[in-house]
Amino acid sequence: MNAGEHNRKIIHVDMDAFFAAVEQRDHPHYRDKPIIVGGKPNSRGVVATCSYQARRFGIHSAMPSSQAYRLCPQAIFVRPRFDVYKQVSAQIREIFASFSSVYEPVSLDEAYLDVSAVTQYKGSATLIAKAIKQKILAQTGLVASAGVSYNKFLAKIASDMDKPDGLYLITPEEGELFVENLEIGKFHGIGRATEKKMHDLNIFTGKDLKALPLAQLEYYFGKSGKYYFHISRGVDHRPVVNSRISKSVSVETTFAEDISGQEEILCQLHILLEDAWVKLQGKQMIARTLVIKVKYQDFEQITRSRTFSNPIGHALNMKTVLAELIAEADTSGRKVRLLGVGFSSLSTRSALAFKQMDLFE
Ligand code: TTP
Ligand code: MG
């Protein structure tokens, strides 16, 4: 690992039991009680989140409300008030901006900050994180947890380590060993399905993951293999992006030699699709639209897209769609110099929660 990888100071801030904490703040008689925000117990709705008092009963986000009710009949079920959560979200973003111009909100209640260039607080990321937590509490009456480290991957994990009201630091010296000891399921970016696949391959910890050569990881996990290779070593180069959330995520490639034929084109699109998918995951976004771009030898350029009513669940499911889209493009006998694949109709994970509202009824 070269020295540059250790130079950054990244903070990940995540509010504790966000929706439930807001409800407890605004309704004093809810405090210290198991509060469930989401669908009614007798409905087909789901739990958006619950207070830490309710978590003791095993209740968690996305659990059917009926099941939550069975686990804890005395819990108080509350309808979400998204307008209020959005207001608080805007408030905390302003607080982030007051500490560093380089901050990246990733959902209503969490953000990354790059504080490498901050000189206040003796330039200490830990002191800055502490100050952010204090300011959030003072201005919103809510508690946040913060993780401090030298990249996004570790800062995100750190913010979860000490919840609620946490402040956890993973130093450059500790990073690699920390990841070695981490269970695969705790890796951000490794979902349930991948976790199972890894378990089947006898990969249970970061150390197991690190033992696999890059080629083997790529063989088993495609483009994500490289990401796993790096994070198992505590390496993550993703920058904190302070622009407004982008409207699309795409990758494209210009071929050294023009290509032709549906089969070859489709093969290249599959590769690009995986790249675009990894990029989308990296941004912790979800997408409903798949787009392809084709630039012909004569520089004529076309795009074809398909929009779904639900978020695209996995890149793999999109392969047949790619075939349909390319069938809509003219590839018979025409040479292609550039191909691109992208996702749009993007939203954050929290916006997905808004969609779950449908289920609350
Ligand atoms: P999280 O930060 O994942 O959860 P949390 O803030 O409630 O609890 P903690 O961070 O302390 O573990 O999500 C933020 C909010 O997003 C959460 O309060 C409610 C909403 N949400 C949903 O509506 N559905 C979900 O499945 C998840 C995970 C979150
Ligand atoms: Mg949270």
Over residues 47-58, the pLDDT tens digits come to 999 999 999 999
Q: What is the largest CA-CA distance in the chain?
A: 72
> What pLDDT digit, counting tens, does each position of 201-219 carry?
999 999 999 999 999 999 9
pLDDT at 316: 75
CB 51 within 8 A of CB 178: no
2 pLDDT more than 80 = no
Quote the crossing angle between the two packed helices 262-282 and 319-328, to the nearest 10°: 130
Positions marked active-site: 110
pLDDT at 290: 95
Beta-ladder partners of 37: 49, 78
Q: Of the candidates 255, 247, 192, 198, which has an alpha carbon nearest to the alpha carbon of residue 225?
A: 198
Q: Is the CA virtual torsion 136, 91, 112, 285 positive or negative?
A: positive
Angle at 43 between CA 39 and CA 44, to 5 degrees: 85
CB 35 within 8 A of CB 20: yes
pLDDT at 361: 37
Pocket of ligand 1 (CB under 6 A): 14-19, 48-49, 61-62, 109-110, 163-164, 350, 353, 356
Q: Of the candidates 112, 89, 78, 108, which has an alpha carbon nearest to the alpha carbon of residue 242?
A: 112
The residue whose two tokens read 């997905």 is: 352
Question: How many percent of the chain have pLDDT more than 70?
Answer: 93
pLDDT at 354: 47
Q: What is the mean pLDDT of the chain?
A: 90
What's the chain's length in residues?
361
Long-range contacts of 21-27 (CB under 8 A, 24+ apart): 21/51, 21/142, 21/143, 22/81, 22/84, 22/85, 22/88, 22/142, 23/78, 23/81, 24/51, 25/140, 25/141, 25/142, 26/84
**Main-chain dihedrals φ then ψ at residue 190, nearest 5 degrees:** -110, 105
Pocket test for ligand 1, best of 16, 47, 109 (most atoms within 8 A of CB): 109
CA distance 7 to 289: 37
Q: Is the CA virtual torsion 142, 143, 149, 151 positive or negative?
A: negative
Pocket test for ligand 1, best of 16, 35, 36, 49 (most atoms within 8 A of CB): 49
Question: In Å, what is the CA distance from 225 to each residue of 8, 80, 168, 173?
Answer: 24, 39, 28, 25
Cα torsion for 124, 130, 134, 135, to the nearest 10°? 40
Q: Would you place residue 10 in the very low, low, confident or very high pLDDT band (cuts 50, 70, 90)?
A: very high
pLDDT at 352: 53
pLDDT at 244: 52
43 pLDDT more than 70 = yes
| Highest mean pLDDT: which range of 139-153, 177-191, 335-349 | 139-153
CA distance 281 to 288: 13
Atom of ligand 1 nearest to the CA of 110: 2
Average pLDDT over residues 121-149: 98
The residue whose two tokens read 């995100």 is: 156
Q: Would you place residue 283 in the very low, low, confident or very high pLDDT band (cuts 50, 70, 90)?
A: confident
DSSP state, residue 205: B
pLDDT at 286: 86
